[in-house]
Amino acid sequence: MNTQIVDASRNASFGYRVDVSRGERVGRVSSEWFCRPADERYLSLNELACTVRERADRSRTRVVESALIHVEASRADPERLALMLPGSDTPVAPTHWSFGQLASQVGAPAAYLRQLPAALAGINLQYGLTANRLEQIKTLETEDSRIELRAVTGPDYGRIYDHELVEAVQRIAGNGTGDTRWKVPGALDWSSGIYNPRVDISKDTTTLYASDRDVFLFLVDDLNPIEAGRLRDGSPDLYFRGFYCWNSEVGAKTLGMASFYLRAVCQNRNLWGVEDFEEMTIRHSKYAASRFAHEAAPALLNFANSSPMPFVNGIKAARERIVARSDEDRTEFLRRRGFSKAETGKVIEAVLAEEGRPPESIFDFVQGITAVARDRPHQDVRLDMEARAKKLLDRVA
């Protein structure tokens, strides 16, 4: 079987025919795309990095005694609270997010406090701070037209700034617009089955996002497709490399990244035909910054610079590994791996529908399992099936 890296100049101007009926569908990027307003969408990594770096430059973090924080509220402005922190004469205004964090730190229900007039909410919050058993808190304050309190965490919170992640991505992806192999993805034309890697980057198509709470970035190497075998009609089965990563410097989520091979990205930014999905996360614990420097950033660099041949060879081995030659073999293969009678029948039917023949190789069974998983309405069931499919591939590799 022929396996190779396809010459990008051969088809990049016209796009690539792909088969998105294979592999997994991953909706994480699409979820981000749907919920981001225009002011959270960026057209380049330079633009994004400049925004989050400039924000960090205007910020300070410190550990303060919670009992020394003074809550100010005015009857003249019943909707607004301010905090006076020790060692400062300037009030800080909590954001919606940090107010919730502060309430959580002192054991108060944030939703209830938000319903109260500011003066009454201030009394309750002041009592909580004075009686707080967690004697210290760490703040993140950012100065703009006023000083905002953007985050309130425990004293051992290990902050990784958003710009640190974005700059790590820049080291491998440049501006993210095509000046390196890595770029904002193109889009699949469903009517033709052609994936076009050359789509103008706009607010509607970008996959570079940042808000006051987080950053999220998704890039692909879609001008350099990888051929791993052939489709039913004899055309090449093409893949592209991709990764996404995320962070929140205010404690809204962990830092994490996922790398994978995929066959297409649609206009709604769903990932189609995903294989070899790997994810890692780093909690913002005391040594998070060190872990980012020694684990996450190098992992991103290694994936960006690694050869796709281990993946290609793994797919080739899975295609060549024949494990069933009869209906009895097929049933036994799946049932011994924990699939129910109904699931077994659906996996075999899925391969018959897509390939025109019953499953024989490890690769056939993996594609059948992931096809059935895509139709599962419950995420936990779907993820369990996809994990079992990946386990089969990993054993071959």
What pLDDT sits at residue 8?
41
What pLDDT sits at residue 31?
95
* pLDDT score of 278 more than 60: yes
Mean pLDDT check: name the lowest of 27-41, 73-87, 213-227.
73-87
- Categorize the per-residue pLDDT at 1 as very low, low, confident or very high, splitting at 50, 70 and 90: very low
What pLDDT sits at residue 2?
41
What pLDDT sits at residue 353?
85
DSSP helix/strand/coil, 135: coil
What pLDDT sits at residue 77?
59
What pLDDT sits at residue 76?
58
* pLDDT score of 43 more than 80: yes
What pLDDT sits at residue 397?
59
What pLDDT sits at residue 367?
86
- Categorize the per-residue pLDDT at 22 as very low, low, confident or very high, splitting at 50, 70 and 90: confident
What is the distance between the alpha carbons of residues 189 and 187, in angstroms, rounded to a whole number? 7
Q: Where are any strands of DSSP class E within the chain?
A: 3-5, 16-17, 24-26, 41-42, 59-65, 70-74, 77-84, 93-94, 136-143, 147-153, 187-189, 194-196, 208-210, 215-230, 236-247, 255-262, 264-265, 271-282
* pLDDT score of 318 more than 90: no
Which tens digits make up the pLDDT trace of 59-83?
Answer: 999 999 988 999 988 665 545 788 9
- What count of other Cβ atoms lies within 10 Å of the Cβ of residue 306? 12
By DSSP bridging, strand 236-247 and strand 208-210 are: unpaired
Mean pLDDT check: name the lowest of 76-85, 366-375, 381-390.
76-85
What is the distance between the alpha carbons of residues 44 and 50, in angstroms, rounded to a whole number? 10
Going from the C-alpha of 189 to that of each of 231, 264, 383, the distances in angstroms are 19, 10, 27
Average pLDDT along the chain = 87
Using left for φ > 0, alpha for ψ between -120 and 50, and beta otherwise, residue 232 falls in: alpha
What pLDDT sits at residue 308?
80
Contact 367, 354 (CB under 8 A): yes
Q: What is the mean pLDDT of residues 189-197?
A: 92
Which tens digits make up the pLDDT trace of 95-123?
Answer: 999 999 999 888 888 888 888 888 888 88
Which tens digits make up the pLDDT trace of 125-180?
Answer: 888 888 876 688 899 999 988 899 999 998 889 999 999 999 999 999 999 999 99
Going from the C-alpha of 321 to that of each of 334, 360, 396, the distances in angstroms are 15, 8, 8
Q: What is the mean pLDDT of residues 10-31?
A: 83
Mean pLDDT check: name the lowest of 2-6, 84-88, 328-332, 392-396.
2-6
- Categorize the per-residue pLDDT at 229 as very low, low, confident or very high, splitting at 50, 70 and 90: confident
Q: Which two tokens stand for residue 290?
A: 């060190």
Q: Rounded to 5 degrees, what are φ and ψ at 74?
A: -120, 135
| Nearest C-alpha neighbor of 271 from the set 305, 250, 225, 240 | 240
What pLDDT sits at residue 350?
87
Find residue 94's DSSP bridge partners. Answer: 149
Using left for φ > 0, alpha for ψ between -120 and 50, and beta otherwise, residue 49 falls in: alpha
* pLDDT score of 241 more than 90: yes
* pLDDT score of 49 more than 90: yes
* pLDDT score of 7 more than 60: no
Amino acid, res. 370: T
